[in-house]
Amino acid sequence: MADDKKGKSSGGKKETKERQPSQKWLKYKIEGGKLIRSRSCPRCGPGIFLAMAKDRAFCGKCHYTEFSEKK
């Protein structure tokens, strides 16, 4: 019989994306002794922050979007 390559793997590991650690500490600031938090999602609640873009705020979990007003 001939050598069939069906079903045989190359034996190497597959490349996977390396997951970056959470950087929630960037969403908090202390100004004048007060703790300032970034905007949180109104649907998901506290702890889920909105990502700020140039013209909108976006929740990555529930896809809630707020557009800023044009000037």
| Residue 31: inside a domain | no
State which residues form the domain around 49: 43-71
* Mean pLDDT, contiguous 10-residue spans, the chain (71 residues): 60 80 83 88 91 91 90 64
* 6 inside domain: no
Report if residue 16 sits inside a domain.
no
Residue whose tokens read 């190497």? 12
Domain count, the chain: 1
38 is a domain residue: no
Question: What pLDDT score does 42 carry?
Answer: 93
- Residue 26 inside a domain? The answer is no
In this predicted structure, what is the pLDDT of residue 8? 62
